[in-house]
Homo-oligomer: A and B are copies of this chain.
């Protein structure tokens, strides 16, 4: 059940705790780029003793070990994403959804630019998602 996540933590010499396993599992099963509050309140349901501080701390150590990445796309809070394959992100300004974007990008895997040492690359697109556009059209017809 949790073996997969236990191994990930072991591989990085991170102490194994139920809280870390749950957070990692949550991110692995929800590719919706949740914020701290979402992760916390979801997991709190099954593990009432969980503390918000632990969510912050756990995400921090997972990030340092490059097991997860944080996205600053929303501008008001960090969003978290399990690290698997580089990809870009799209934020819908209407519904707030953050979607994975798979497009070829020559700069994605760049490790150096103009003498700067590059450790992270993020491509953010913002606008109105396909789904919200459909809703807009519908409203126009009816109103």
B127 A118 Cβ-Cβ under 8 A:
yes
Q: Which of B74, B93, B115, B124 contacts A121 (CB 8 A)?
A: B124
B93 A116 Cβ-Cβ under 8 A:
no
Q: CB-CB contacts of A124-143 with B at 8 A, as 1s and 0s?
A: 11111110010000000000
A93 vs B126: C-alpha distance when bound (angstroms): 24
> Which chain A residues in 56-111 approach chain B with CB under 8 Å?
70, 72-75, 78, 88, 90, 92-93, 99, 101, 103-107, 110
Chain B residues in 8 Å Cβ range of A110: 125
A119 B126 Cβ-Cβ under 8 A:
yes
Q: List 15 A-B contacts (CB under 8 A).
A: A72-B75, A88-B107, A92-B116, A99-B116, A103-B113, A104-B106, A105-B106, A110-B125, A116-B127, A116-B128, A116-B133, A117-B128, A119-B126, A120-B126, A121-B125
Besides A122-B124, A122-B125, 9 other A-B contacts (C-beta < 8 A): A90-B113, A92-B116, A99-B116, A103-B113, A104-B106, A115-B129, A120-B124, A120-B127, A122-B123
